[in-house]
Homo-oligomer: A and B are copies of this chain.
């Protein structure tokens, strides 16, 4: 295969053979095909698309490019969960211990946050001592003994995806449904899961800006799942407003702990958590919503959370007398009315500037920085009532943050209708 012919074929909207996609993917991973050729091809893919067959071939090739996590020594159906990312999305922190408490084995490989979206690993690393870098044998040992682990993606799995993703990130070629779907699914399949819960977020603070794109991604994810004989459930959820009350790493971990302890949870956060736990229980034949609620009420989920954290070196006692950022600022309502909308994108970007996120991959995170939403959607406020509290160690960022958080709240004379954030669910393999 001449690589220029391969690139030109996609430029002209043609369909590649599986062999050619393998040759390209593995050649690029080994460094034999230069980045400038790969990025031209990626751009052609972004504009021209990939057929299902091409997407399968790319997924296959990315899996083949590295090792696979072999969880076969652990009995039962292994589960994994993935969210396409948003603002305030700490659902994984609650779902993993709850399902593990019900005996569902989970080896959860997670990423770090970039831009306005948070990452599960950053949230967990806000717990002093927590170690996210586990070897394959540590992963298997932890899942076998504690029932679950949450750790960083290792370079051994799907290195082709890692290398392609880094290139896509700097060449304007992230937004492609078949590329996103094959990236997500290759990692999940290489990580050895039998059951995969996927959360495709839709809205202004999500990758997928509209329902049609979200449904197209869901379709692609399910297609790949079916081809690999996996049980896959895709839930479409809304990401227009932040999920729950906390945005920021330690603040979100605290909110997850509160939910696990059965303390006054945000109803949206609780609904999404129970949804994914119920789906996970039902797909592994261990129960449904009743059992999911019981795992919280009984304290089993919180107990499992502490076990998972401890075995990875973290100290869960940090939540008993939590630390707080050096500077706080209350943002107050400037008119009377109902909180009608909160712009998650503005909240996410502001939290990032307060120190909760990274603009560049190498930026340091301030784990205590972030925002607590005090008055959520539907709450009636009077002038001067607190809308949100900012937390940061960078007081110079506070004035701008205060302005943008003020703008991100829409206050109306009318109360917004209460709507579920769960927009739909589809599954294959059952």
Contacts and interface: CB of A to CB of B under 8 A. Distances in A.
A5, A42, A46, A175: most-surrounded residue (chain B CB, <10 A)? A46
A8 interface: yes
A38 interface: yes
Interface in A7-40: 7-8, 11, 34-40
A47 interface: yes
B47 A171 contact: no
Interface residues of A, number: 26
A171 B48 contact: no
Contacts of A11: 43, 46-47, 172-173, 175
B172 A4 contact: yes
A170 interface: yes
A60 to B, nearest CB: 24
Contact of A170 (B37, B46, B167): B37
Interface in A198-233: none
A5 to B, nearest CB: 8
Given A43-B11, A46-B11, A47-B47, A4 B36 contact: no
Contacts of A175: 8, 11
Given A35-B35, A47-B47, A48-B47, A40 B7 contact: no
A5, A37, A171: most-surrounded residue (chain B CB, <10 A)? A171
Contacts of A40: 39-40, 42-43, 171-173
B172 A36 contact: no
A44 interface: yes
Interface in A87-138: none
A173 B40 CA distance: 8
A70 B173 CA distance: 42
Contacts of A34: 35-36
Given A5-B172, A36-B39, A36-B170, 15 more contacts: A4-B170, A6-B172, A7-B43, A7-B171, A11-B43, A11-B172, A11-B173, A11-B175, A34-B36, A37-B170, A40-B40, A40-B43, A40-B171, A43-B44, A44-B47
